[in-house]
Amino acid sequence: MPEIYSKYPMVKYLRKEALPTALCPGCGGGTVLNAFANAVDQLKLDPRDLVVVSGIGCSAWIASPYFLADTLHTTHGRAIAFATGVKVGLPDKKVVVISGDGDLASIGGNHLLHAARRNIDITVILVNNFIYGMTGGQVAPTTPFGAKTTTTPYRNIEHPLQISETIAAAGASYVARWTTAHVYQLIESIKKALTVKGFSLVEVISQCPVQFGRRNRMKEPAEMLRWFLKNSVPISKAKKMSPEELEGKFVIGEFVNRQRPEFTEELNKLIDEVQEHFGLKGGDDV
Amino acid sequence: MIIRGDEPEQIRLLRKLYKPGNYFMQGNEAVAYGALFAGCRFYAGYPITPSSEIAETMARELPKLGGYYLQMEDEIGSIAAMIGASWTGFKVMTATAGPGFSLMQENLGYAVMTETPLVLVDVQRSGPSTGQATKGAQGDFFQARWGTHGDHPIVAVSPTSGQDAFWEIIRAFNIAERLRTPVVFLFDGVLAHTRELVKIPSVDEVEITYRKLPQNEEEAKLPFGDPHGDGVPPMPLFGHGYFTHVTGSTHKENGLRDVYTPEVHDRLVRRIHRKIEKNRHVYEKYEEHFTDDAEILVVSWGVTARPALGAVLKAREEGIKVGLFVPKTVHPFPGERMRELGKRVRAILVPEMNLGQMILEVQRYVNDDVLLKGVNKIGGVPLTVEEILREIRGVA
Ligand SMILES: Cc1ncc(C[n+]2csc(CCOP(=O)(O)OP(=O)(O)O)c2C)c(N)n1
Ligand code: SF4
pLDDT tens, A113-161?
A: 999 999 999 999 999 999 999 999 999 999 999 999 999 999 999 999 9
pLDDT in tens, B376-393: 999 999 999 999 999 999
Instruction: Specify if B2 maps to a domain.
Output: no
Atom of ligand 2 nearest to the CA of A59: 3
All residues of chain B having their beta carbon less than 8 Å from the beta carbon of residue A280 are: 13, 16-17, 64
Same domain, B261 and B317: no
Indicate the residue among B231, B260, B281 that finishes a domain: B281
Dist. CA A134 → ligand 1 center (Å):
6
All residues of chain B having their beta carbon less than 8 Å from the beta carbon of residue A72 are: 84, 87, 238, 246
Instruction: Specify if B133 maps to a domain.
Output: yes
Dist. CA A187 → ligand 1 center (Å):
26
All residues of chain B having their beta carbon less than 8 Å from the beta carbon of residue A106 are: none
Same domain, B44 and B145: yes
A51 in contact with chain B, both atoms CB, cutoff 8 A: yes
Residues 78-97 of B with CB under 8 A from A: 78, 80-90, 92
Same domain, B17 and B154: yes
Same domain, B93 and B71: yes
All residues of chain B having their beta carbon less than 8 Å from the beta carbon of residue A48 are: 241, 243
Q: Do B92 and A85 touch (CB under 8 A)?
A: yes
Instruction: Specify if B3 maps to a domain.
Output: no
With left for phi above 0 and alpha for psi between -120 and 50, is residue B383 left, alpha or beta?
Answer: beta
Instruction: Specify if B304 maps to a domain.
Output: yes
**Of all protein residues, whose CA lies closest to atom 1 belonging to ligand 2?**
A133
Instruction: Specify if A283 maps to a domain.
Output: no
Using only C-alpha atoms, what is the Rg of chain B?
21
Q: Do A73 and B87 touch (CB under 8 A)?
A: no
Distance CA A116, CA A171 (A): 5
Same domain, B88 and B126: yes
Q: What percent of chain A has pLDDT over 90?
A: 96
Q: List, as own/partner pairs, every contact residues B261-268 make where C-beta atoms lie below 8 angstroms and the sequence separation is at least 24, other chains included.
A: B268/B224
Q: CB of A105 closer than 6 A to ligand 1?
A: no
B387 in contact with chain A, both atoms CB, cutoff 8 A: no
| Nearest CB to B248; choose among A68, A74, A267 | A74
Same domain, B232 and B114: no
For residue B151, with 0-12 CB atoms within 10 Å meaning exposed, 13-18 middle and 19 or more buried, which class applies?
exposed
Element (DSSP H or E) covering residue B171: helix B162-179
The residue among A5, A213, A25, A186 whose CA lies nearest residue A98 is: A186
Q: Do A78 and B243 touch (CB under 8 A)?
A: no
Instruction: Specify if A286 maps to a domain.
Output: no
Q: Which of A27, A74, A103 to mutate to test the pocket of ligand 1 (most atoms within 8 A of CB)?
A: A103
Q: Residue B3 — very low, low, confident or very high, per pLDDT cuts 50/70/90?
A: low
Q: Residue B339 — very low, low, confident or very high, per pLDDT cuts 50/70/90?
A: very high
Q: Do B81 and A84 touch (CB under 8 A)?
A: yes
The phi and psi torsions of A44 (rounded to 5 degrees) equal 55, 40
B13 in contact with chain A, both atoms CB, cutoff 8 A: yes
The reported pLDDT for the residue numbered B4 is 56
Mean pLDDT computed over every residue of chain B: 97
Cis preceding-peptide flag for B128 (omega within 30 of 0): yes
Same domain, B161 and B234: no
pLDDT in tens, A201-214: 999 999 999 999 99
**Of all protein residues, whose CA lies closest to atom 20 belonging to ligand 1?**
A133
Q: Which residue of B has its CA nearest to A64?
A: B245
Report the b/e string of A46-84 with b at 16+ CB within 10 A.
Answer: ebeebbbbbbbbbbbbbbbbbbbbbbbbbbbbbbbbbbb
A263 in contact with chain B, both atoms CB, cutoff 8 A: no
Q: Which residue of B has its CA nearest to A83?
A: B84
Distance CA A136, CA A142 (A): 16
Same domain, B275 and B342: no
Q: Do B84 and A86 touch (CB under 8 A)?
A: yes
Q: Specify the CATH number for the domain of residue B311.
A: 3.40.50.920
The phi and psi torsions of B274 (rounded to 5 degrees) equal -60, -40
Q: Which residue of A has its CA nearest to B62?
A: A271
Domain span at residue A181 reads 1-278
Same domain, B87 and B189: yes
Q: What is the pTM of this model?
A: 0.97
What average pLDDT does range A261-269 have in this prediction?
98
Same domain, B45 and B173: yes
Which DSSP symbol is given to A11? G
Q: Which of A33, A59, A76, A78 to mutate to test the pocket of ligand 1 (most atoms within 8 A of CB)?
A: A76
What average pLDDT does range B349-376 have in this prediction?
98
Instruction: Specify if A23 maps to a domain.
Output: yes
Q: DSSP secondary structure string, B190-213?
A: HHHH-EEEEEE--GGG--------
* Contact call for residues B60 and B71 (beta carbons, < 8 A): no
Side-chain half-sphere exposure of B187, counting CA atoms within 13 A: 38
Distance CA B196, CA B277 (A): 36
* Contact call for residues B36 and B13 (beta carbons, < 8 A): no
Domains identified in chain B, total number: 3
Q: Specify the CATH number for the domain of residue A178.
A: 3.40.50.970
Q: Which residue of B has its CA nearest to A67?
A: B243
What average pLDDT does range B303-310 have in this prediction?
98
Distance CA A133, CA A106 (A): 14
The reported pLDDT for the residue numbered A276 is 97
The reported pLDDT for the residue numbered B7 is 87
The reported pLDDT for the residue numbered B268 is 98
Decide if pLDDT at A286 tops 90.
no
Q: Residue A65 — very low, low, confident or very high, per pLDDT cuts 50/70/90?
A: very high
Decide if pLDDT at B1 tops 50.
no
Mean pLDDT computed over every residue of chain A: 96
Instruction: Specify if B349 maps to a domain.
Output: yes
Of the two residues B120 and A4, the one the predictor is more confident about is B120
Q: In B117-161, which ranges are continuous DSSP H helix? A: 141-146
Indicate the residue among B253, B281, B309 that finishes a domain: B281
pLDDT in tens, B158-174: 999 999 999 999 999 99
Q: Which residue of A has its CA nearest to B85?
A: A85
Q: Residue A46 — very low, low, confident or very high, per pLDDT cuts 50/70/90?
A: very high
Same domain, B175 and B267: no
B60 in contact with chain A, both atoms CB, cutoff 8 A: no
Side-chain half-sphere exposure of B177, counting CA atoms within 13 A: 23
Same domain, B35 and B88: yes
Instruction: Specify if A19 maps to a domain.
Output: yes
The residue among A22, A57, A17 whose CA lies nearest residue B256 is: A17
Domains identified in chain A, total number: 1
Decide if pLDDT at A2 tops 80.
yes
Q: Tell me how close the Cα of A69 comes to any Cα of chain B, in angstroms.
A: 5
**Of all protein residues, whose CA lies closest to atom 2 belonging to ligand 2?**
A208
Domain span at residue B243 reads 217-281
Q: Angle at CA A71, nearest 5°, toward A66 and A72? A: 125
Indicate the residue among B281, B296, B324 that finishes a domain: B281
Q: Tell me how close the Cα of B11 comes to any Cα of chain A, in angstroms.
A: 8
- Crossing angle of the two packed helices B162-179 and B27-38, in degrees rounded to 10: 30
Q: DSSP secondary structure string, B351-396?
A: EESSSSSHHHHHHHHS-TTSEEEEEE--SSPPP-HHHHHHHHHHH-
Q: Specify the CATH number for the domain of residue B26.
A: 3.40.50.970
Residues 245-284 of B with CB under 8 A from A: 245-249, 254-257
The reported pLDDT for the residue numbered A285 is 54
Complex prediction ipTM: 0.97
- Crossing angle of the two packed helices B75-86 and A109-118, in degrees rounded to 10: 70
Provide the sign of the torsion angle of the four alpha carbons B168, B169, B174, B179, taken in this order: positive
Decide if pLDDT at B259 tops 90.
yes
Q: CB of A100 closer than 6 A to ligand 1?
A: yes
